[in-house]
Structure 1
Amino acid sequence: MEDSNNPFRKAGFGLLVIGIIDLGIIAYAIANKISYSSSFNIFAVIAGILLIKGGVKTARAVRWFSAFLFVAFIGLLAVMPIITPVGLLITQIKLNALSVVGSFAYGLVFVGVLIWVHIQLSTPESLRVLEKAGYKTAKPKSAYIAGAGLLALAVGLSTAFLNGESAQKAKALAKEQLGPEFNYHVTSMTTFGRSGHASVAAYTDKEIHRVQVQW
């Protein structure tokens, strides 16, 4: 497709730049042993290059996934107080407001990029190219449904898993180490039959400790 007839270029350049920046942050985090959860990385770079080249299949896929991820991520932000105790969130804000606000801001940027990309790939010019290639150009309802379904499944499974018998055992073991003055919340857990290990957040309104337990 000629550049002058390529309505996907703006979205492509946007994804390419964001992907390169994200890869740079990943490299910095690895070099300085900083925890960083990447959302764009190499996938954004590849998708950006293909969109700049006028990839219609890529445009269709990115348009669908941007809607899918938008619904899932917005839902995740909404249910965060359900899967993480409010008391723990409040203490995290008290102790490290910059980190919490930074993570939230990153989430908003991520959502904003998804919306922007989706809008760019839903312009009349973009939809005409997609339609000419034989693709449907209506709103991707399947993406909305899939995003909501994935969120519901993830929240349901994590809630059941992190509040089940093994989780209760992990909390009890953590409580043996630090005592009853703390509240306990399992943040991650791996089980192998009757054995397993877990990371437990022990918190009050003034402090948080990370306790590793195994059984």
Structure 2
Amino acid sequence: MASSSSYLTISPRKLRSDLYSYSYQEDSSTPLVINVLASLIERSMARTERIVKNGSWSLSKALSTNIFYCRDIPDMTIQSYLERIFRYTRAIPSVYVVAYVYIDRFCHNNPGFRINPRNVHRLLITTIMCASKYVEDMNYRNSYFGKVGGLTTNELNKLELDFLFLMDFKLHVNVSVFESYCCHLEREVSIGGGYHIERTLRCAEEIKARHREDKGFRNIARVML
């Protein structure tokens, strides 16, 4: 399990450089935003555990609280699971910020839901997949995300459908909302002076635009040849 104290070695400049100028190569290191997200999720789970132990929260049988329930707890930390998702999907850093928006939005829409070891992995793979579909132009199929997350295609299809209905299909995240969540993430991990999580929705749009321009130039070159 990642320790929050380890983030003291991450300078704001390094984090900004990593997120704004990220190099998507086969040997690329894991984006720093994944470390931050893992820390936040772990802290949320610790709060849930304290609430349950104090007896101030009773388990609910509502669909919203059991949608991601897994009988057997996966033998993988949150950090390792997020790193696995990145390794095999290469989702851009902003996807993880948008996934965090979805998680927070889902928790607010379903007050009885609490993140715990039996639901966190399925929650993450579902929200990251949905965020990838929202942010990125090209996406893997649900079957591939299922293999990455350790689920069958049918299991992930059902999770996605239930999640969308419980969210009332409200998955839009505008730039101002995105930036507000980046600021929230910064405050949460600003132990050693404040980190600067990337504002990459605009950056992602620029990358997409460049990709379309490059594709257009290649098509023109083919015609000229």
TM-score normalised by structure 1 residue count: 0.27
The two structures have a TM-score, normalised by structure 2, of 0.26
Q: Looking at both structures, which has the greater relative contact order when contacts are Cα pairs under 8 Å and sequence separation is at least 6?
A: 2
Pair member with larger Rg: 1
